[in-house]
Amino acid sequence: MGVRGLKRTSTQDPVWRDEFSAQSATERYVTRRQFSKFLVLTSLGMFVGNLWILVRSWFAAKPSFTPQPVSTAAEIPVGGVKLFSYPTPDDPCILIRRSTDTFVAYSQKCTHLSCAVYYAREQNRLECPCHEGYFSIEDGSVLQGPPPRPLPRVTLKREGNDILATGVEI
Ligand code: FES
């Protein structure tokens, strides 16, 4: 029991606490109702955010590819390659002539860290020199190494002697 102006013992609150209106013991106290409100609002915000991402992906424009001549058949011998860019100048690709009538093309960017892949003729596969990632020449699938995905395949169309890129299958 303190009387203003009198000295208190060390186990009692100091005199200034009686005159100070803030109650420090309860100021950090969060009620169950406040906490529930916080959880509900946070969950609602996350739900709306995810819904927005979903709706945007539904209505996002699909990439359109315009056919583009990339080579002539006579340009590449059997087992030979030609480098080109498709669909933009920033998308390097590699065209390989597997036989007289068979051409395949893939993105030249390794799906690991985007190093340029090359055609290893003796092994008949595409190889990435950075971390020894190997890809199948048949379908671009990963044969070995750290690449997480197959190489995107460039679809081709032959018109007479011309070889056209018509799209990219990821
Ligand atoms: S960048 Fe091709 S394997 Fe790592």
Q: Give pLDDT tens digits for 87-99.
A: 999 999 999 999 9
Residue nearest to atom 1 of ligand 1 (CA): 113
Over range 2-20, report the average pLDDT: 61
Whole-number Å distance between alpha carbons of 103 and 163? 9
- What integer pLDDT is reported at residue 3 of this predicted model? 46
The pick from 109, 111, 113, 144 for probing ligand 1's pocket by mutation, whose C-beta has the most ligand atoms within 8 angstroms, reads: 113
Max CA pair span of the chain: 108
DSSP-assigned letter for residue 146? S
CA of 26 to the centre of ligand 1 (A): 58
CA of 65 to the centre of ligand 1 (A): 27
| C-beta of 164 in contact with ligand 1 (< 6 A) | no
CA nearest to 96, candidates 126, 57, 58: 126
Whole-number Å distance between alpha carbons of 118 and 134? 10
Ligand 1 atom at shortest distance from the alpha carbon of 113: 1
DSSP for 50-63, written as a single string? HHHHHHHHHHSPPP
Question: Within 10 A of 58 (CB to CB), how many other CB atoms are there?
Answer: 7
Residue 58 pLDDT level (bands cut at 50, 70, 90): confident
Decide: helix, strand or coil at residue 46: helix
| C-beta of 130 in contact with ligand 1 (< 6 A) | yes
User: Is-above-0.75 flag for pTM?
Assistant: no
Residue 169 pLDDT level (bands cut at 50, 70, 90): very high
Residue 53 pLDDT level (bands cut at 50, 70, 90): very high
